[in-house]
């Protein structure tokens, strides 16, 4: 029994270290946009073998209130970048229904963000989709597309997973889809709905 004490102490130290690491990743939560802005979060689910993908879109205001949400299933998607571009387009289409002048769009795809900011994306296969996003968001006074860590984008990802499982398209205006309610309460900036 005496030999177990150091092992137990070591395990306790490891547990405390891991708790600290877990807390650091949990710090990455969704952050509301500045006053007067609406924020679109987009994410995807993609199955390379079957070439199927799904998008998830959540639009919220500066108080974290859900203004709109959408999920959509796609068939015959060549790669993940294509469905990431479709997610941005789905977000832009949905935002047009809300007619907000100042908009931020967040994606956890660094490649999509890089192509958006690049002046030399003319050879990209997703250029037509990016042009659609530009046209739709060109009506806004301010539009910004930026990268966000995956942990801060979990609600949009949950919607994409929902569409991937259900193989459907659905839009919600001024209501919270039940499938993301737990994520909003657990992972968001303030936890209230």
Q: What pLDDT shows up at residue 184?
A: 85
Q: What is the mean pLDDT of each run of 10 residues along the chain (193 residues)?
A: 37 42 59 97 96 97 96 96 97 96 97 86 84 93 94 94 94 93 73 45
Query: Measured between alpha carbons, how far is 125 from 192 in angstroms, rounded to an integer?
Result: 41
Q: What pLDDT shows up at residue 30?
A: 92
Q: What pLDDT shows up at residue 185?
A: 82
Residues 36, 44 contacting (CB under 8 angstroms) = no
User: In this structure, which CATH number among 1.10.630.10, 3.30.420.10, 3.40.50.720, 3.40.640.10 belongs to the domain 38-187?
Assistant: 3.30.420.10
Burial status of residue 22 (CB atoms within 10 A of its CB: 0-12, 13-18, 19 or more): exposed
- Residue 69 tokens read as 């949400």
Q: What pLDDT shows up at residue 25?
A: 44
Query: Measured between alpha carbons, how far is 30 from 41 in angstroms, rounded to an integer?
Result: 9
- Residue 4 tokens read as 């177990």
Q: What pLDDT shows up at residue 120?
A: 67
């Amino acid at each position: 029994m005496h030999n177990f004490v150091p092992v137990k102490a070591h395990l306790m130290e490891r547990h405390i270290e891991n708790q600290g690491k877990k807390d650091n990743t949990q710090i990455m939560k969704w952050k509301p946009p500045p006053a007067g802005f609406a924020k679109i979060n987009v994410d995807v689910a993609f199955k390379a073998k079957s070439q199927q993908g799904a998008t998830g879109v959540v639009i919220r205001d500066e108080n974290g209130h859900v203004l709109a949400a959408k999920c959509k299933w796609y068939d015959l998607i060549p790669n993940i970048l294509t469905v990431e571009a479709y997610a941005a387009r789905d977000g832009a289409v949905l935002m047009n229904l809300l007619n907000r002048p100042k908009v931020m769009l967040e994606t956890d795809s660094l490649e999509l963000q890089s192509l958006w900011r690049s002046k030399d994306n003319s050879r990209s296969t997703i250029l037509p989709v990016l042009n659609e996003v530009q046209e739709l968001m060109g009506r806004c006074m301010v539009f910004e597309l930026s990268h966000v860590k995956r942990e801060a984008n979990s609600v949009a990802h949950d919607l994409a997973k929902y569409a991937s499982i259900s193989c459907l398209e659905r839009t919600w205006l001024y209501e919270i889809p039940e499938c993301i309610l737990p994520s909003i309460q657990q992972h968001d900036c303030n936890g209230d709905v």
